[in-house]
Amino acid sequence: MKETMSSIYEIAKITKVTPSTVSKVLNNRYGVSSKTKEKILKVIKQYNFSPKIGVYKESSIGVVLFYTTNFFKSYYVQEIMNGICDTAFKYDLDLNIIPSFHIQKNIQNLSSYLRKQQISGLILLHTHRDEPLASIISQEKIPHVVLSNIFENKKINWIASNNREGVKEATQYLIKLGHKRIGFVTGDINMSDSYERWQGYIEALKTSHSIITTEERQSGPESSSWKESNSSVIVNKKPHSELVSEYRLSIQDKLHEKSQLQIDESLICKSSGYEIEDGYNEVKKLLLLQNPPTAIITGGDRLVIGALEAIKERGLNIPYDISLIAAGEDNPYFTVTKPQISVVKQDLFQMGSLAIEKLRDLINSGNSKNSNFQIILDTKFIIRDSITTYKKTNL
């Protein structure tokens, strides 16, 4: 009985060529001399070579879409796909767009299906938080990476943005500006990005008792308001160092007196979608409250556009009547509208580009068991003209 082989690395070692050369021969690609091709094919036949999915071909990547209706109108998807395409084409990789139902339909023989389609690895885009397909693909040892999702299963490869910390930072910033009623609008909470932003918002409110507002910071030992409320300090003519010390004690007392901001469910809007009308409808609800928010954080660029329309319809001015922050995509529209919109920005292009780099490494390493990865990319809080200090005249 002939000895069998399943790795192009074994074939490459015997024929003394590179694994990529073996891959070209297996896929009938140009760039290999007839003599070298003949030598490789002879060894393949001799050892009854039977390739595994993900180890014989690097030239085709499948991008699995879980929502196919108007998918590419989203700036989120456009930016990720720009990163994917730029890096894939740099390495001469082909891309195949695959609706998720095609994968689910062939789930019993997934490796065979992908081999027939000549796909060596998968990128899963815009999945639910507990997407079962990711676990199945991982168990099948298919090279893969899931984007914008966080899994506890360490066998699933994923890349996501730190949306939780990004929104937490933005919420804390608004609290420092004196805002106490901060609205939060997000899309489908079953999506990881939305869930993480929601959690960041909640965490910021729970730790709000430790945040000193702008008003408190400005009422330091040199301010007239602080001196008037501490007139004994002025009468006793204490040195500046003692004034500062007493000021710090005063601030600490304020922190002990302050309680965390209450989590008001009426200020939290969880939409089922990410469309402009979803943003419009949710923000309209917030503005009709008896005690409306003085600031709003909205996740998703299309939700923000809807929010702008609802605010305009109410005759409110951004930021003097209400502050607004976008969380997620830094849509170019946000820098040309007046006022320019502050944003917690994900680097979606980097996410898409890194997905190809990491997937290519997985394929070239034979999807070894030690090559799993989980990556969280930093977000960036960009402050523009759409936020300002809370004033009692706001709303």
- Kindly report the CATH number that applies to the domain delimited by 163-212+260-345: 3.40.50.2300
Work out the angle at residue 200's Cα, subtended by the Cα atoms of residues 71 and 307, and round it to the nearest 5 degrees: 50
Take residue 128 and report the two structure tokens written for it.
């639910």
C-alpha to C-alpha distance for 48 and 43, rounded to whole angstroms: 8
The yes-or-no verdict on residue 180 having pLDDT over 90 is yes
- According to the model, what pLDDT value does residue 242 have? 46
- According to the model, what pLDDT value does residue 341 have? 97
Tell me: the pLDDT tens digits for 267-322? Answer: 999 998 889 999 999 999 999 999 999 999 999 899 999 999 999 999 999 999 99
Which one has a higher pLDDT value, 116 or 158?
158
Take residue 76 and report the two structure tokens written for it.
């989120």
- According to the model, what pLDDT value does residue 210 have? 62
Where do the domains of the chain lie? 8-46, 60-162+349-377, 163-212+260-345, 214-257
- According to the model, what pLDDT value does residue 223 have? 45
C-alpha to C-alpha distance for 307 and 309, rounded to whole angstroms: 5
| For range 118-123, the mean pLDDT | 90
C-alpha to C-alpha distance for 39 and 22, rounded to whole angstroms: 10
- According to the model, what pLDDT value does residue 114 have? 86
Contact 123, 359 (CB under 8 A): yes
Work out the angle at residue 288's Cα, subtended by the Cα atoms of residues 299 and 326, and round it to the nearest 5 degrees: 15
- Kindly report the CATH number that applies to the domain delimited by 60-162+349-377: 3.40.50.2300
Q: Report how far apart the first and last C-alpha atoms of the chain are (Å, whole number).
A: 83
* Residues above pLDDT 70, as percent of the chain: 78
Take residue 291 and report the two structure tokens written for it.
């005690």
- According to the model, what pLDDT value does residue 240 have? 43
What SS3 state is found at 154? coil
Which one has a higher pLDDT value, 74 or 84?
84
Strands 342-345 and 380-382: antiparallel
What is the b/e burial string over 69-86, where b = at least 16 CB atoms within 10 angstroms of the residue's CB?
Answer: eebeebbbbbbbbebbbe
The pTM score is 0.76
- Please check whether the two domains, 60-162+349-377 and 163-212+260-345, share a CATH topology: yes
What SS3 state is found at 273? coil
